[in-house]
Structure 1
């Protein structure tokens, strides 16, 4: 019926944020493309050995990709240690290895399964969005600014609800965007339906740190 279509459109296009009751920890969907979780321990010696086998140019390229300045690093071993430090920080920060402090990662269903699978030391702020959703696109730059300010205190990610419909269904997502906060063990703490500005996103995330 036309009335139902109008109600659905209003839900999807509304930019007003609505807080929804807390949820339970989601289990990975049965058809999720998961890979084995990474080891909880970071083998620094093995990483150092591997990095020392690389050329200086390769080390500099990898550091640049991580946004790390290497101009003042004179010795090759300085480059190796800096890259190893960054890799260790990333391994400790994100169970899937896809998330980095201060950035928004557009993740896959398999990566989300790992991120909510437990073992993280920080909360996860997840934006469930769609490419056709106007409020979702409006919130995207706000989410980037919020992630930059939250830094290493919160993992920030987004997932495409059309591309990964099983997860959207598992999370009972209705209106878009839906922002969900999980604790380090993967339990859902709070969700908000509708677009949020930077300050609202930061307040939501920090209330669960």
Structure 2
């Protein structure tokens, strides 16, 4: 597909006089572009609407000028298109965050007890902030596949370290879940503050 025309080029094609050979050449080139861009039915419909015989060069030129006007009317500046795409991306991010919050709310209802804040600690964030043991197990299984050294996008030595850390952290959380790590257990503010300030060898966000 040829490079898309700018609004200035489309305006020039739509209004340029046909007495110059350069204009004729440009319009014939644009006509070829339109044949690739538009459907056969759209081309046939426009030609019929203006009583044009596209086997005749003069009619092709007139068709090209009309098509240039139509393209100009629907033209969107690249900067505007980028802005619209960025808006869509932000909306998608917002939608994902809403879904995450809803999932956490559902998990909280399943747990049946208020959370103590431990789900906000770095180690819990590594595992997607699970609020039940089942969530911890499920999230670890997904991370195990993603972080396996054979599948990781990190260099092999870093990937192996991340995988070992993930497994060790999971075993620790799983084994101590009922007595210590269940986020519905009673916890002091001092314990929670210490847990939130804990440093990990890798950023929790790098696992998602």
Greater relative contact order structure (CA < 8 Å, 6+ sep): 1
Q: Same fold (TM over 0.5)?
A: no
TM-score (norm 1): 0.25
TM-score (norm 2): 0.25
More helix by share: 2
More strand by share: 1
